[in-house]
């Protein structure tokens, strides 16, 4: 299939008129009104493979967000939305409060870039609050939280309400690469020249595949599992059932 597409593309030729470049200076062609509008907007996508009620999603989000001003939500493609806020404060508060969810599904949000086309937009990362269990007492501090956050994909925040460090877990906000299997834990070096295992628990995962460990789909429609079946290999659910 890919080879046929490449051959077809090689035959593709632009006409002289099509070769002409419109708006050579992109920055100058973007007026102040468009820049101001983009500045208070976000692009979003529901991280799910199943259908959902768009109108119900809009109603739910506008209710739980409790914005100071109005928000306009428009679908521009299937499962691709623009959120137009009317104050920079509302936009920044919603972005900072990520992740948000609807019907137990994660809503990915990101800034809009003026030169970005809808067909080019990719959602590769989303923030998550994670719980790190059974952390050694000597590691229950902000420095260790930062190191773990960076290891998991990118440190964002640390819930340090338990300033004494006696809680059952540490709570850290990290940036997760949704293209990869979720980390089930981390191996931590100890002073004995060995390593100990720390379990990770994720808050509000939404759709999740117990076979490959990735978000946005379940084991019912996991192509990684299908490839395993085709090879005749035993299917093992590494992330539970």
In b/e form, how buried is each residue of 8-20, taking b as 16+ CB within 10 angstroms?
eeeeeeeeeeeee
pLDDT tens per residue across span 14-65 = 676 656 666 666 555 455 656 788 899 999 999 887 888 999 999 999 999 9
- pTM here? 0.76
Residue 151 neighbours by CB distance under 10 Å: 13
Looking at per-residue pLDDT, the higher value among 209 and 14 belongs to: 209
CA–CA gap between residue 83 and residue 103 (Å, rounded): 18
pLDDT for res 27: 58
CA–CA gap between residue 13 and residue 165 (Å, rounded): 65
Domain 29-114 = CATH 3.30.70.330:
yes
108 DSSP β-pair partners: 45
pLDDT higher than threshold 60 for residue 209: yes
CB-based contact 211:239 (threshold 8 Å): yes
CB-based contact 170:146 (threshold 8 Å): no
pLDDT tens per residue across span 145-155 = 999 999 999 99
pLDDT tens per residue across span 112-145 = 888 888 888 889 999 999 999 999 988 989 999 9
Structure tokens at 154: 């990118």
CB-based contact 114:35 (threshold 8 Å): yes
Structure tokens at 97: 């409060």
Structure tokens at 103: 């019907």
- Backbone phi, psi, residue 63, to 5°: -75, -45
CB-based contact 68:107 (threshold 8 Å): no
CA–CA gap between residue 138 and residue 21 (Å, rounded): 61
């Amino acid at each position: 299939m890919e080879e046929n597409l490449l051959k077809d593309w090689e035959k593709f030729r632009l006409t002289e008129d099509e070769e002409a470049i419109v708006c050579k200076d992109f920055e100058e062609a973007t007026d102040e009104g468009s820049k101001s509008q983009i500045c208070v907007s976000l692009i979003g996508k529901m991280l799910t493979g199943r259908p959902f009620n768009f109108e119900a999603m809009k109603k739910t989000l506008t209710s739980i967000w409790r914005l100071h001003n109005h928000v306009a939500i428009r679908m521009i493609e299937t499962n691709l939305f623009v959120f137009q806020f009317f104050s920079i404060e509302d936009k920044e508060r919603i972005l900072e409060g990520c992740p948000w969810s609807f019907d137990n599904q994660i809503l990915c949000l990101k800034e809009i870039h003026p030169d970005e086309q809808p067909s080019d937009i990719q959602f590769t990362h989303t923030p998550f609050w994670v719980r790190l269990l059974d952390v050694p007492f000597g590691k229950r501090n902000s420095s260790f939280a930062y190191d773990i956050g960076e290891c998991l994909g990118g440190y964002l925040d640390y819930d340090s309400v338990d300033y004494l460090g006696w809680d059952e877990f540490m709570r850290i906000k990290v940036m997760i690469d949704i293209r990869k299997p979720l980390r089930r834990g981390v191996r931590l070096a100890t002073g004995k020249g060995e390593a100990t295992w720390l379990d990770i628990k994720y808050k509000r995962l939404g759709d999740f595949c117990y076979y490959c460990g990735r978000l946005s789909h379940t084991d019912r429609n996991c192509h990684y599992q299908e490839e395993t079946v085709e090879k005749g290999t035993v299917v093992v659910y590494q992330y539970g059932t």
